[in-house]
Structure 1
C-alpha cells in the first residue's frame, strides 16, 4: 500500500470531535481541564486570522513563532492562521535555553512578525545582544506580558499575546488592551484579578467562572481598531 493510499484510507476514518485536552491552572493552584473541539479550533483560527490581518500580515511576509509544545491549544490557531494568510513561519522554543535559535531565525529570516516572544527568551538574548537594536525594526512584535514590559522598557514597541486559562488574548495595533473573543469566552475582573468562563460559543464545555490568579482589568467599550471584543489590561 502506497503512502497516498494510506492517507486516502485515513481521511475516510471517523475523527473524534476533540482536538486537544486543554489543561490550565486556576488561581487556587488546581488544574482545570476542558476539551477543545475541531470546530472550536476552526473558529479560533478564523478569529486569530482577523487579528493578524489587523497587524498588516499578508502573503509574502515571514513570521517567527516562539512557543512550547504543550502550548498547542493556544498556538495551533496562530499557526493555522499564518498558513491561511500564506505567511511562511519558523518555530523556536519559548524557553530561555533556546534563545540562540530565535537569534539565528531573526538574523537569517528578518521576520515581519515575531509572535509569542517570552521574557525567558529575552533574558537569554540580553547576554549577547542589544534588545533595542535587535527588535526595533521588526514591524510586528506580539510578546507575552512580561516580555512586553521588558521590550517597552528598552524603547521597543510591542503588543501583548497571553493565555487566559483556555482563552487567547491578542492585542491589536492600538495597544489599548488584549482582545478576547467575546463569541467564545466571557472575561472579567473581580478585586483586580481576572477570571474566564465559557461564552455562548463554548457553552458545551461547561466552564464555570474560573479565577486565574492574573492581575488585570477588563475594558468592555469598543476599540479604535473596530473590534467590540473585551480587552484585558494586565497589571
Structure 2
C-alpha cells in the first residue's frame, strides 16, 4: 500500500482525545497535565494568528529551534507554520546542535527564526558574528535568556517562552509576551510567575507557582490584544549582567 493511501486510511480511524502528557517544572517538582487534540488545535490557531501579526506569510521560510520534550508547544508552532504555508527547518535547541542552526540559517535564508536559546547562541558565538548573522532576519523570536544577548548585538528580538504548560509569544509591539487568555490565567506573586488552566482546558490546574521571575501586564496592548503580557526578568537583563 502506498504511503499516501496508508495515511488516508489512518485518518479515518478513531483516535483518543489525549495528544500529549505535558510535564513542566515547578519549585516543588515536576507537574503533569493532559493536553487534548482539541486543545492543541486551539493553541495552534492562536499561534497562527500571532505569527500572522508578525507578517509571516506563505512562501517565506522559517527556522525553528526546539527540543523533543517541548512537543506540546513545538507542535502548535509547526501547525501554525503549516497553516501559513511557510516551509521550515528544525534544529535542536541544545547548544550541541548549533551547527545545524548555522547551516539551516545559511541555506534557508529564513524570514523567521523561532525559539533561539542562549545555549545555541553560545555555541554559535565561537564561530560566527551573532549580530551579522541575525540582524537581517526580519523576525527573531528567542527565549528569555537569549533575548538580551541578541539585543546586545543589535538584533531586534522578541520573546517566545513557556509559562508552565502555556506558551507566551511577544507581539510586534514588544511590550511583553502574550499568553492566550481564553486558555490560561497567568499571575504574579512576590515577583514569581504562576499559571492556572482556563475553564475550557480538560485537565484541571489550580494556580501553580512556577519559580520564574517576572511580572504580568493586563489591559489592552498597543497591538489591540486583551491577552495578558508576561515580562520575564531574564529577558530584561543586560548582556553584561549575564556574563
Q: Same fold (TM over 0.5)?
A: yes
SS in 2 for 1:19: strand
For residue 12 of structure 2, what is the aligned residue in structure 1? 12
* Equivalent residues of 1:216, 1:232 under 8 A apart: yes
Cα gap change, 1:62/1:234 in structure 2, threshold over 3 Å: closer, same or farther?
same
* Deviation for aligned residue 1:152: 1.0
Can you give the 5+ residue segments of structure 1 that lack an aligned partner in the other structure? none
Deviations 1:74-100 (A, max 9, x none): 110100000000000000010101101
Secondary structure of 1:223 counterpart = coil
* Structure 2: distance between partners of 1:169 and 1:176: 12
Q: 1:199-210 residue pairs with structure 2 within 5 A?
A: 199-202=198-201, 204-210=202-208
Matches within 5 A, 1:141-160: 141-160=140-159
Partner of 1:21: 21
- 3-state SS in 2 of match to 1:51: helix
What is the number of residues matched between the two proteins?
233
* Equivalent residue number for residue 230 of structure 1: 228
- Matched residues in 1 for 2:82 and 2:74: separation? 13
Structure 1 segment 152-231 matched on structure 2, within 5 A? 152-202=151-201, 204-231=202-229
- CA pair 2-114 structure 1, distance change in 2 beyond 3 A: closer
1:132 aligns with 2:134: no
Q: After TM superposition, which residue ranges in structure 1, 4 or more long, deviate above 3 angstroms?
A: 1-9
> Against the structure 1 CA distance between its residues 109 and 217, is the aligned structure 2 distance closer, same or farther, given a 3 Å change threshold?
same
Gaps of 5+ in 2: 234-243
After TM superposition, give the deviation of residue 228 of structure 1 in Å: 0.5
Aligned 8 A contact 1:184 1:199 in 2 = yes
| TM-aligned CA distance change 1:126 to 1:7, over 3 Å | closer
